[in-house]
Amino acid sequence: MIERKPYAVVDIDGTIADTSERFNIATEKCPHPESGRGRLTPCFWDAFMDPELAMRDKPIEGTARAVNKLAEKYHIVYLSGRRAAMQEVTERWLRVNGYPYTPDRATVILRPKGKGTLEWKGKFLSQIAKSGKVKVFISDSEYETRFAEGLEIETVLLVKMNEPWSIPMN
């Protein structure tokens, strides 16, 4: 990320990508998606992270236009808990659906193998926040937006996952 523009960090799943169909298919493949500890099972996550299913995600209404507008002022950093093995399919999905994705406008950062999503995202945000270049963080996760606020990053919490944005884009 050599780009000189400030960064707008944007989550993907549930924020710009409607994952409801993929979630439903993964739930069908793993009829009991929650373990006894209230966590989704490895079977569910393997199905949910299937690259072919990810290509079936629909863009959330208005988000491609909004992210392109952000890209006029910011370098977009797509920060996702998707597995690193999904890098190619994620980049393709962004291009096919009209999101800014060229090295001069955007970067895709996916979760390395063996790392928990929340812990990894927190460490990554902490690291890049030190640069002072992160100006906005957009996510459907209340936990992640609270964490970013603690780093003094302006945040936008999308109230409902997989719903159109209602962010004024002047």
**In the predicted structure, residue 21 carries a pLDDT above the cut 70:** yes
- Closest by Cα among 167, 133, 130, 138 to 155: 138
Residues 90 and 156 in one domain: yes
Neighbours of 14 (CB within 10 A): 20
Range of the domain at 40: 20-56
- Give the pLDDT band (50/70/90) at residue 25: very high
Residues 94 and 110 in one domain: yes
3-state secondary structure of 66: helix
This prediction has a pTM of 0.86
- Give the pLDDT band (50/70/90) at residue 33: low
pLDDT digits (tens, 9 = 90+) for 65-105: 999 999 999 999 999 999 999 999 999 999 999 999 988 89
Beta bridge partners, 157, equal 139
How many domains is the chain partitioned into structurally?
2
Residues 151 and 90 in one domain: yes
- Give the pLDDT band (50/70/90) at residue 143: confident
Give the model's pLDDT for residue 166: 54
